[in-house]
Homo-oligomer: A and B are copies of this chain.
Amino acid sequence: MVESNSKRQLVIIGGAEDKDGDCIILRDFVRRAGGTKAYIVIITAATELPREVGENYIRVFQRLGAENVRIIDTETREDASSSTALEAINKASGIFFTGGNQARITSILKDTEIDLGIHKRFSEGIVIGGTSAGAAVMPDVMIVEGDSETHPRIETVEMGPGLGFLPGVVIDQHFSQRGRLGRLISALILQPAVLGFGIDENTAMVVTNNQVEVIGQGAVTIVDESEATYNNMGEILKDESLAICGAKLHILPHGFKFDLKTRQPILNNGSVANVSVPVDLVST
């Protein structure tokens, strides 16, 4: 079950978001962080090039007018308890996780002072953003790594603990661009989660409390396993292929919304897309 949090604000980005043009996605993040009055902390734990990656985001956030932008560069778990870092977290109105390798984020940060501090600020309502590896860490159980462009197999994905800002779901990024349907389905079958989100590049799912809104260039592919009639997880050996029957599939581009509690898409006009329409009407 997806946990409720009435102040939850997340901007979860599928990677490769626009940093030079309209910046629809990063603009939304900065606005949620307080606009020109924002105090943004960039967490570069995912990358081995923290300066390069971090300064790129400083440049964008400052161009969009954020007053204070600073990097927390944590190379080790010791760094992740530093008092200056904690002070910044406590002042932050928005915290942003860059891309890189999601396993670096959790191995350096998980359960450190900084992690606890970020969760405290999150529960107080400040926006948390993340792109690529920074998107992967959002659930409580994340895709650590896995193969793209393959059908579902157990061996396709390695799962591990995430940071848990959006528990009960599975998230994959660079979704259409890297052909990751098989990887998302594998993760979904391996986990007790029933909702899988595949986020395209330059696309984000913006979570406000229990509502997701899709923004950006691509789409968010949602696989709902809750009504699936069958999977063969209990019957196969490790190197065999996974099967799934009757999962529900939604593909939502910019402007569409999705309710995490009812697991129903919400159309552009605000109506809920849960009424079956006769086939002839749908497919013309």
Contacts and interface: CB of A to CB of B under 8 A. Distances in A.
Contacts of A245: 250, 252, 265, 267, 273
A274 B250 contact: no
A166 to B, nearest CB: 17
Contacts of A189: 283
B225 A241 contact: no
Given A152-B219, A200-B151, A273-B229, A253 B243 contact: yes
Interface in A246-284: 246-254, 256, 265, 267-268, 273-277, 279, 282-284
B229 A241 contact: no
Interface stretch (A46-54, A102-110, A172-180): A172-180
Nearest to A219: B151
A193 interface: yes
A203 B189 CA distance: 22
Q: Which of A178, A218, A229, A274 has the most CB of B within 10 A?
A: A229
A251 B151 contact: yes
A23 interface: no
A230 B283 contact: no
A104 B134 CA distance: 46
Contact of A244 (B182, B191, B250): B250
A192 interface: yes
A66 B177 CA distance: 42
Nearest to A284: B192
**Residue among A178, A219, A246 with the highest chain B CB neighbour number at 10 A:** A246
A182 B176 contact: yes
Nearest to A252: B243
7 contacts: A151-B253, A178-B179, A179-B179, A181-B181, A228-B282, A242-B253, A244-B249
Contacts of A223: 249
Given A149-B179, A151-B218, 11 more contacts: A149-B176, A150-B176, A150-B218, A151-B176, A229-B277, A233-B284, A240-B253, A244-B249, A244-B250, A245-B252, A246-B248
